[in-house]
Chain A
Amino acid sequence: AQSVTQPDIHITVSEGASLELRCNYSYGATPYLFWYVQSPGQGLQLLLKYFSGDTLVQGIKGFEAEFKRSQSSFNLRKPSVHWSDAAEYFCAVGASYQKVTFGTGTKLQVIP
């Protein structure tokens, strides 16, 4: 069965610092991978997705992620974090029957 692991439950970074959120997946075939962001009390917004092709994908709000098949990873990065980036981030993998399996999320705190 497919699964997603986000090893960091909570991360704190200073505004302007770089960010990397880790995501590892387990899936038997070529994965479809996603990163979503959720602000408190809100739904999920798609940041970026990987289906095929270039392993470095660009998303909205200055985020990017790199698919590394050998490491089964899809880490999310941003070179300079803004206070408005504070939120919960979910990595997800596309599974069978169109279902998406989500990781447990990483809560990002940004300090001035």
Chain B
Amino acid sequence: GAVVSQHPSRVICKSGTSVKIECRSLDFQATTMFWYRQFPKKSLMLMATSNEGSKATYEQGVEKDKFLINHASLTLSTLTVTSAHPEDSSFYICSARVSTGLPYEQYFGPGTRLTVT
């Protein structure tokens, strides 16, 4: 149980285009999902917290107009990188918190490798 999927697993796009990454909780409902960014050989940096049916809460320094997050249902959150540039190339990981679970207990997706050329 508690499986989180991400799609796509890997994407290459041209500079200036937009890319959408999906995060799905497959066998549980997630009122809260989180989006992280991981730089090479670095830890995970929380970008935003996404709550179903409401606006995402972005961490300081994260451009909300560039990283659009939508949490339309209890099993799906999407991250859209708008007008992507090479510096947006990174490994993006989502996680989901079980609605009835203990605080802080999150399950992570396998990640999406974004390369902007």
A residues apposed to B, CB below 8 Å: 32, 34, 36, 41-46, 49, 51, 90, 94, 97-100, 102-105
Contacts and interface: CB of A to CB of B under 8 A. Distances in A.
24 contacts: A32-B104, A36-B108, A41-B91, A41-B113, A42-B111, A43-B4, A43-B93, A43-B108, A43-B110, A43-B111, A44-B93, A44-B95, A44-B108, A90-B43, A90-B44, A97-B49, A97-B57, A98-B103, A99-B34, A99-B49, A104-B42, A104-B43, A105-B42, A105-B43
Interface residues of B, number: 25
A102 B43 contact: yes
Interface in B38-61: 42-44, 46, 49, 57
Given A90-B44, A104-B43, A46 B103 contact: no
Given A36-B108, A94-B103, 15 more contacts: A32-B102, A41-B91, A43-B108, A44-B95, A46-B108, A90-B43, A97-B49, A98-B103, A98-B104, A99-B34, A99-B46, A99-B49, A100-B34, A100-B104, A103-B43
A46 B43 CA distance: 15
B70 to A, nearest CB: 19
Residue among B44, B46, B109 having the largest count of chain A Cβ atoms under 10 Å: B44
